[in-house]
Amino acid sequence: MGKLPIISIANHKGGVGKTTIACNLSAGICRQKKHDGKNYKGLLIDLDPQANTSHTMVKEPQDVTNTIRDALNGVSMQDCVYPTKQKNLYVCPSNIYLFHEEIKMINSPSSALYCQKILDNNKTFLDTFDFVLIDSPPNLGPFMMNAVSCCNHYIVPIQAGGIYSLVGLNLLEDRIKDIQHLTQNDINLLGYVLNEYDARTNASKEMLSQVKHFYGAKVFESVIRRNTNLQQSQTLKKPVFSLDANCNGAIDFTRLANEVIQKIWRKTNDR
């Protein structure tokens, strides 16, 4: 059995689609089958105090009693995980009170290692999943540091609407290198993914050209097109597959899911 893939969605900019990608990519992977014919089983961890991923994905919000904050304070992760609106996908949710943990992390010499400790302490439970995907907040603070420090793969979303989406990506990469040096973990860039792409606009075309120029093979072939069904699914707080599994948004996330599967599993063996 290979090492559990832990994938973080990371970008310190807001509005680039981290939550959209976290929700729909994880759902898209869980809709695919492994070599043994079974669907992939995933865990989605919400490390953003805004909790948009949790609001979108938790199947029965009234059943939530524990969150990622409780896991950070020693509660078994098994008691902090709930079914989502996508079969085979589970979520460790967040809420606004997670902000209280940020103060502890900032004042701690091991501020980047809290999540790693959770994963280490819950290894037996986590090994019941095929992958873990972590959504992080739009800043370079301790929650994003934790999301990156405990992962072995990360994906960087880029918003296709303006060239300024590329500004600061070097800072992000430098920060991730610092975290990698601190933790001595092997953190692999899975790729940059272009979000809200609109082939009718010169801005999107130029952004795609620039991203491929700067990052080449590090850019996913799949792009997430701007799609009304995808926007509507966000409003309705559900993955796009639950709204229309045949719309462009669902097609794009299926392609992205298969590309991720190819990069992580198909070059080795299924877990």
At residue 270 the predicted structure's pLDDT band, cuts being 50, 70 and 90, is very low
Does 102 reside within a domain? Answer: yes
The secondary structure element, H or E, covering residue 258 is helix 248-261
Strands 188-197 vs 224-225: parallel, antiparallel or unpaired: parallel
- What is d(CA 11, CA 166) in angstroms, rounded to the nearest whole number? 11
| Higher per-residue pLDDT: 221 or 103 | 221
Inter-axis angle of helices 142-149 and 114-121, nearest 10: 40
Give pLDDT, residue 1: 37
- What is d(CA 51, CA 75) in angstroms, rounded to the nearest whole number? 19
Whether the per-residue pLDDT at 271 is higher than 60: the answer is no
At residue 5 the predicted structure's pLDDT band, cuts being 50, 70 and 90, is very high
Q: In what order do the strands lie in the sheet with 188-197?
A: 82-83, 89-92, 42-46, 131-135, 6-9, 153-159, 188-197, 224-225
The mean of the pLDDT values for the chain is: 91
> What predicted TM-score, i.e. pTM, was given to this entire model?
0.94
DSSP codes joined into one string, 213-250: HHHGGGB-S--EE--HHHHHHHHTTS-HHHH-TTSHHH
For Cα atoms 184, 220, 90, give the angle at the middle one, nearest 5 degrees.
Answer: 70
Share of the chain above pLDDT 90, in %: 69
3-state secondary structure (DSSP) of residue 177 = helix
Give pLDDT, residue 178: 87
Give pLDDT, residue 223: 95
Does 165 reside within a domain? Answer: yes
At residue 162 the predicted structure's pLDDT band, cuts being 50, 70 and 90, is low
**Domain residues for 44?**
6-266
Does 1 reside within a domain? Answer: no
- What is d(CA 120, CA 150) in angstroms, rounded to the nearest whole number? 10
Q: What is the CATH number of the domain that holds 214?
A: 3.40.50.300
Average pLDDT over residues 158-179: 81
Average pLDDT over residues 192-220: 91
At residue 267 the predicted structure's pLDDT band, cuts being 50, 70 and 90, is low
Each residue's pLDDT tens digit, 215-255: 999 999 999 999 999 989 989 999 999 999 999 999 999 99
Average pLDDT over residues 7-20: 88
Q: Please state which of the ranges 74-88, 92-106, 167-181, 242-256 shows the lowest mean pLDDT.
A: 167-181
Does 186 reside within a domain? Answer: yes
Q: Count up the domains in the chain and report the number.
A: 1
For Cα atoms 175, 181, 187, give the angle at the middle one, nearest 5 degrees.
Answer: 75
